[in-house]
Amino acid sequence: MENFSYLDPGKPAIFKDQFVTKVNECIVPFTDGAKGEIGLIGLPFSKTSISFSQAAEAPKTIRACLSSYSTYSGEQNKGYEDVKIIDFGDVITHPTSTDESIERMFISVREMLDQDVCGRYILLGGDHGVSYPSIRAFQEKYGRIGIIQWDAHHDVRNLENGGRTNGTPFRSLLEGGFIQGEHLVQVGIRDFANAKKYHDYTKANGIAVYTMADIESEGIVQIVRRAVERLSSLVDVIYLSVDMDVVDQAFAPGCPAIGPGGLTSRELLNSISEATQHEKVIAMDIVEIDPSKDFRDITSRLAANVMLKFMYSGK
């Protein structure tokens, strides 16, 4: 009888179907000379959250959820097993200094971009404060940058009450001169979730704001399609910033700022798929998931699906 071992030390005992390629199997760590279609980086920082949050744990949780999905799209009848994802790892943040952590994230994202080994990028937060250093890095690399922000909140809070927080990234970018107001589109802004002062700030700065009422009457795919078409004529590249609290609490219970009346998971996925069709859309961050607040990784699994739509939408 031939000797055969069913032990594989150091590796999980998982079922493997020879005809199925899981998304996580397409992820390879960055090494000199490596090239791929998608660059992936984790920004595990949530100390700027105005409410208690362990969103710093989200990058590893979302990565783990990718093992639940195959690279085959039945809707497109197309396999994406040859799409290589280059993982640049997670930024090592400072244990106490917020300013130092923000600078480290900026440097690390810019370092990833300077490698020029990928055409598109996914950044996993972290709270929404990580978008400030990330978008700065993209702006420095590519020039004029347009942003579509999926969010229940404007995230243009003042900087006097607490400094830079997860509620200030877009005010920080605007007042730092890194973006222009007319190049920012906010989608999914929820009722009774913001202050009049910040509503007025968005209008004064030329930010395009689409509320849940607008989505209900016009449809989110049509709104996003128009936004991408308009931005593409004004900017060099487009960056998608997905705050998962834009989704209704029924579909995303793992967000620190959950609430009713948000997007369904299908609305989010369809709108991401629509935006990703345009060649100028080169990056997306996903933020505001606290795995400790989640149930059976519902929110992280949705985030993983958002990644699939960004990576595999037939571009």
Tell me which H or E stretch contains 38.
strand 38-43
Annotated binding residue 128: yes
With vertex at residue 153, the alpha carbon angle to CA 274 and CA 218, rounded to the nearest 5 degrees, is: 40
Q: How many CB atoms lie within 10 A of CB 250?
A: 12
Rounded to whole angstroms, the maximal C-alpha distance in the chain is 79
d(CA 252, CA 256): 10
d(CA 232, CA 121): 18
Annotated binding residue 199: no
Q: Are 88 and 39 in contact (CB under 8 A)?
A: yes
Annotated binding residue 99: no
CB under 8 Å to 292, separation ≥6 — which residues? 54, 57
Annotated binding residue 245: yes
Annotated binding residue 243: yes
Peptide bond into 262 cis (omega under 30): no
Tell me which H or E stretch contains 145.
strand 145-150
Burial class (CB in 10 A: 0-12, 13-18, 19+), 24: middle
Q: Which residues are annotated as a binding site?
A: 128, 151, 153, 155, 243, 245
Q: Which residues are annotated as a binding site for Mn(2+)?
A: 128, 151, 153, 155, 243, 245
